[in-house]
Amino acid sequence: MVGKQRYARAIHEAGHAVVARMLGVSVPRVDVRSSSPQAHSVSAAYQVSGSDAAAQIVGYETDAKIALAGLAANRHELPELRVFDLFEDGDGDTTNARSFVYRIVALKAGKSAPEQTVSLKLDRDTRRRMDEEYWRLLRETAALVERWWPAIRRVAKQLESHDDLDEVELDRLIDVGMRSM
């Protein structure tokens, strides 16, 4: 991966990683190798009790923001990049966000969070509620990316010259800028 493509991948993965860390989620490793680029993070939702619906909602919202942060970081630099439709499009991040949004909607409706993959054959009301949650989470994620943009840039710059970072180095890069703010 060279040039602009490597930089775009570094920004994307840095977006995931910085948002995750700033939201209190562990990121043991960030990797931009073309064969397996990803910010490996722990799920916020799976860290809470299954009987605490409010905490589960917060966890799934956090997980959704982390999933959406990569594309939000890319869009921060290239605003013309389109936003994926929650039901029609999907890279892995959008598919993950869709699952989290589905669980949020179910929990807010007083149901348990389904474990199965989200069916795209949903009733109109569920689709509408999911779409509302998705757009709210997109806006909130874009605001987080804007807020933490200097840290995302620092992490991306490091990822451009190194294939991966561990959590200690990631935290150091984030903290450097936070102390100067």
The answer to pTM > 0.75 is yes
Residues of the domain holding 26: 3-179
Per residue in 44-84, pLDDT tens? 776 776 778 899 999 999 999 999 999 999 999 998 888 88
Looking up residue 81, the CATH number of its domain turns out to be: 1.20.58.760
CB atoms within 10 A of CB 35: 6
CB 126 within 8 A of CB 87: no
**How many domains does the chain fold into?**
1
Per residue in 70-79, pLDDT tens? 999 999 999 8
Q: Show Cβ contacts of residue 74 under 8 Å, excluding neighbours closer than 6 positions.
A: 8, 11, 12, 15, 81
In the chain, % of residues over pLDDT 90: 57
Distances (CA, A) of 77 to 93, 140, 149: 18, 17, 10
Q: Which residues of the chain have pLDDT under 70?
A: 1-2, 34-40, 42, 46, 49, 89-90, 116-120, 176-181
